[in-house]
Amino acid sequence: MLITFLAQTALFAAASQAASSADRGSYLAGLGRVIPPEDIHIDSYINQSDYNYPYPSTGALGIMTAAGYSDNAAYLLVGLRGRRVDFSALPPMNISFVIDISGSMSGQDKLNWVKESLHIFIDRVRPEDFVSLVVFDNRVELLMEPGHIRNQADKDRFRGIVDSLRPRGSTNIYGGMEMGFDQVAANYRPDYANRVILLTDGMDNASGKTNKDFLDLAALYMERGINISTISLGAEADINLMVDVAIAGGGSSRFISDRVVMEQTFGSELDRLVVAAAKNLEMEIVLADGITVNETWGYSYWIGDNTVHYSLGTLHNGDYETIVIEAVPERPLVPGSVMGNFFISYEDTSGRAQREGPFPIVLGQEPGGLINDERVREAEGYIALSRGLLEIGSRAPELSQLQQYSRNSTEMASFRRMQVVHELDFFLDIVENLTTHLNRINESLGGGRYEPELRILENYRNSFTRSRDEYSD
């Protein structure tokens, strides 16, 4: 279904119930929906690319810095990469899978994605790992008590339990979380990766708990050394809550829209959900004189004097994170100028406190109007895209109202139709400018960038053009 503006419900079905991720934005646009403002977080778009940050040669973290300048704004970028340890060498895992089997999981064959992904996981599990399985609809059930998977018979039993799952009932996410935490706590080991993995495609409608209750529960167990990571499926998932739960619980959050990504997450990338490379990251960017922050993206932060402070609970095995500051310089910038210095403190996997820095953030030479550093250039493209999508999303409800008015058989209908056409022309200008900008960056980087984002813009272009033609007749 292509995007339409026939009614506000067509634009924002279920949108107010969910937060954004870059993957979710692509998913909604593919369903034919304008992405609403609350679903557009610039952080998510910036952080969907791994920017090929280097893995550390020693220690827990790889760190790189860069800066660029474009349209009277300076962009300071810091990239982090957690060390990558082969799965067989990872610390033992104590995992409880908490799986939504409510009736909505039958849609798009989602429960079968989960089953196939758990089959992939069980072939990788090691004899020392603890595994348990909790399912929930309006009820909560422990289908597999925590224990080791030591042989083929244990694997076959696990597969049999997984294959027996059927969608039913409503959704008690909180109850599932509670039981999952209980299973991990029963076998807690300080030298293990102790983690709940919560997977759902909906909203909690059976527990009666508030969002604060969810966050308090996640924070309580994080203090006890048990983390939670969340996986959201589909347009109806309460992604706002799932992201917040993962942050409060020291884990990571994923939005998954297809079978392939799901299987990859449970297979080759499971360690990015479970195993930490570093914890309790506290970071600072100390800005040079004359550099003022306009906006910054990347985790919880606060600004004091000339320093921006960031906090991140966990950087996972092989995972990457990005911080960007958009700054306003008080005077012309000279290539080679140090825009600021980056410092970081964290705990390694042995619990030892580490402090690193300063890492200078140096401005590169800008050839031909393009930002010199490729990573900064790519990140600026995501920022520009997000802002354009926010502009369209924020004005879409007003356009829906204009469309409704224009359909009334009154003397104002013709005027309203002209207003609709004018607004659609404005949207199309945004789409064309963004497409040109992203294509220019993509070409300069050798291709392969922004493919989902350019598809969003193409969907928008086609729909806005068709709608404009209708109102111009």
Q: Is residue 57 part of a domain?
A: yes
Cα gap 66→359, rounded to integer Å: 10
Cβ neighbours, 10 Å, residue 151: 10
Are residues 321 and 237 part of one domain? no
Are residues 228 and 206 part of one domain? yes
Q: Is residue 320 part of a domain?
A: yes
Are residues 131 and 254 part of one domain? yes
Residue at a domain's end among 369, 395, 418: 369
Low-confidence residues in the chain, pLDDT < 70: 1-32, 107-108, 235, 257-260, 263-264, 267-268, 366-369, 404-413, 473
Are residues 170 and 24 part of one domain? no
- Single-letter residue type at 229: S
Query: What phi and psi values does residue 141 have, to the nearest 5 degrees?
Result: -135, 140
Per DSSP bridges, beta strands 130-136 and 93-100 are parallel
Instruction: Kindly state the DSSP code that residue 149 receives in the 8-state scheme.
Output: -
144's enclosing H/E stretch is strand 140-148
Cα gap 98→401, rounded to integer Å: 42
Are residues 110 and 222 part of one domain? yes
Q: Which of 240, 195, 197 minimizes the C-alpha distance to 222? A: 195
Are residues 268 and 224 part of one domain? yes
CATH number at residue 313: 2.60.40.740
8's enclosing H/E stretch is helix 8-12
Are residues 228 and 105 part of one domain? yes
Half-sphere exposure of 187 (CA within 13 A, CB side): 22
- Residues 350/320, Cβ–Cβ less than 8 Å: no
Cα gap 376→360, rounded to integer Å: 15
Cβ neighbours, 10 Å, residue 243: 22
Cα gap 200→97, rounded to integer Å: 11
- For residue 314, the enclosing domain spans 47-85+277-369
Name the β-bridge partners of 230.
198, 253
Residue at a domain's end among 274, 293, 318: 274
Per DSSP bridges, beta strands 291-297 and 276-287 are unpaired
Cα gap 103→168, rounded to integer Å: 4
Q: Is residue 364 part of a domain?
A: yes
Structure-token pair, residue 61: 């973290």
Structure-token pair, residue 391: 């502009």
Cα gap 151→126, rounded to integer Å: 10
Q: Is residue 384 part of a domain?
A: yes
pLDDT of residue 407: 61
291's enclosing H/E stretch is strand 291-297
Are residues 242 and 168 part of one domain? yes
Q: Is residue 3 part of a domain?
A: no
pLDDT of residue 187: 95
Cα gap 165→142, rounded to integer Å: 12
Cβ neighbours, 10 Å, residue 352: 9
Are residues 252 and 380 part of one domain? no
Q: Is residue 2 part of a domain?
A: no
- Single-letter residue type at 67: A
In the sheet that 140-148 helps form, which strands lie side by side, from edge to edge? 140-148, 130-136, 93-100, 193-200, 227-233, 253-256
- Residues 393/40, Cβ–Cβ less than 8 Å: yes
- Chain centroid to CA 393: how far? 19
Are residues 402 and 460 part of one domain? yes
Cis-peptide into 54, omega within 30 deg: no
pLDDT of residue 258: 63
Q: Which of 337, 342, 334 minimizes the C-alpha distance to 310? A: 342
In the sheet that 307-316 helps form, which strands lie side by side, from edge to edge? 300-304, 307-316, 276-287, 338-347, 353-362
Q: Is residue 200 part of a domain?
A: yes
342's CB contacts (< 8 A; 6+ apart) are: 63, 65, 78, 283, 284, 285, 357, 358, 359, 361
Instruction: Please give the tally of structural domains in the chain.
Output: 3
Q: Distances from the Cα of 322 to the Cαs of 44, 67, 180, in angstroms?
A: 10, 13, 31
- Residues 274/195, Cβ–Cβ less than 8 Å: yes
Are residues 324 and 259 part of one domain? no
Q: Is residue 270 part of a domain?
A: yes
347's enclosing H/E stretch is strand 338-347
Per DSSP bridges, beta strands 193-200 and 93-100 are parallel
Residue at a domain's end among 274, 306, 328: 274
Are residues 257 and 242 part of one domain? yes
